[in-house]
Amino acid sequence: MIILHFVEDDWTVYTARGGGGLGAGSKKEVIVVTGSTSGIGFELSKRLSKDGFVVFGTYRSEKDVPMMLEAGIQPLQMEITNLSSIQAAERVVRMFLKENKDTARFLGVVSNAGVLNAGPFEKVEVDPLAYTLDVHLKGTVLLSKVFMDLIKSDKGGRIVVMGSLAALLLPPANAVCKLGSFRP
């Protein structure tokens, strides 16, 4: 279980499992976290790396790479709305697992990348609305499909999807946020 706690402009991540990232046969466990350049994704990736997991965190801009490396995150370029980009990222992870097959196993993906589009439904333009759905819904589906072989390649693979309680509470001024927070 992972608990995220937001206090004074910063996230704290608590992981219930002791850490070490050592799975069956003492292999290092490899996780892909999307949207690792800021917020929850960055803190989660940093914490999992500290706990001993090999974390491939996704980024879009090269400017974020040094910060990720410093936090122990393996930078993995990915635009979540683009199938070819996800496939290219999967190949990088697949290659890593092949080269480290005796010492590493794939644990799963965390679909965390997201955008915030607050506002009443009737005021939000169609393009940002469609983009929000592309990132949250289509992105999660594509990510899961592309990484499915790796997820199933070793027992116990997982797809973790970052949702939001906001999806269940429906203040009218936040309609788009709700739409984007529903995930498969």
N-terminal to C-terminal alpha carbon distance within the chain: 19
Segment contacting ligand NAP (CB under 6 A): 54-62, 95-103, 140-148, 149-157? 54-62
SS3 of 7, please? strand
How many residues bind ligand NAP, per CB under 6 A? 23
Q: Which of 31, 40, 110, 150 binds ligand NAP (CB under 6 A)?
A: 40
Q: Which of 60, 94, 138, 178 binds ligand NAP (CB under 6 A)?
A: 60
Q: Does 61 bind ligand NAP (CB under 6 A)?
A: yes
Q: Does 119 bind ligand NAP (CB under 6 A)?
A: no
Phi, psi of 81 (to 5 degrees): -90, 0
Segment contacting ligand NAP (CB under 6 A): 32-40, 140-148, 151-159, 168-176? 32-40
Strand partners of residue 76: 58
Q: Which of 22, 39, 72, 138 binds ligand NAP (CB under 6 A)?
A: 39
Q: What does the DSSP assignment read for 42-73?
A: HHHHHHHHHTT-EEEEEESSGGGHHHHHHTT-
Beta strand pairing call for 2-7 and 10-15: antiparallel
Contact 57, 36 (CB under 8 A): yes
Q: Does 77 bind ligand NAP (CB under 6 A)?
A: no
Q: Which residues bind ligand NAP (CB under 6 A)?
A: 34-41, 58, 60-61, 78-81, 112-115, 135, 162, 164, 181
